[in-house]
Amino acid sequence: MKFHKYGDGKQNAPEVTWSKMYVCQVCKKVYKHKGNLKRHLDYECGKEASFLCEFCEFKCKRLDYLRVHVKTKHYKEVTQCLRKSDVPYEIE
């Protein structure tokens, strides 16, 4: 999974001390919570990236990832949109 965390990357190394793990049988991704695995199976695993960034070529499989992307990468564009009309993204 190539979802880059912004920052120093220290948080990218997962501790393998989980007492219980949920493994996707298809792609062997490991999840700590059953709900996350379910979400992965429902929305991510084997699915095409269907959420497209309207500002660049970025696309991803989850709306929340796209929102994070837009917020961090296109903050300027979004705030310009805000002034114009209705905005598809909420800015917190």
Distance separating alpha carbons of residues 90 and 8, to the nearest angstrom: 27
Structure-token pair, residue 85? 């009309």
Contact between 81 and Zn ion per CB under 5 A? no
Q: What's the first-to-final CA gap in the chain, in angstroms?
A: 27
Shorter beta-carbon distance to Zn ion: residue 10 or 64: 64
Cα–Cα distance between 41 and 35 in angstroms, integer?
10
Span from 4-12, 15-23, 37-45, 82-90 in contact with Zn ion (CB under 5 A): 37-45
Query: How many binding residues for Zn ion (CB under 5 A)?
Result: 9
Residues listed for the chain: 92
58 part of the interface to Zn ion, by CB under 5 A: yes
Largest separation between any pair of C-alpha atoms in the chain: 50
Is residue 27 within the footprint of Zn ion (CB under 5 A)?
A: yes
By the rule CB under 5 A, 22 interacts with Zn ion: no
Binding residues for Zn ion, rule: CB under 5 A, are 24, 26-27, 29, 45, 53, 55-56, 58
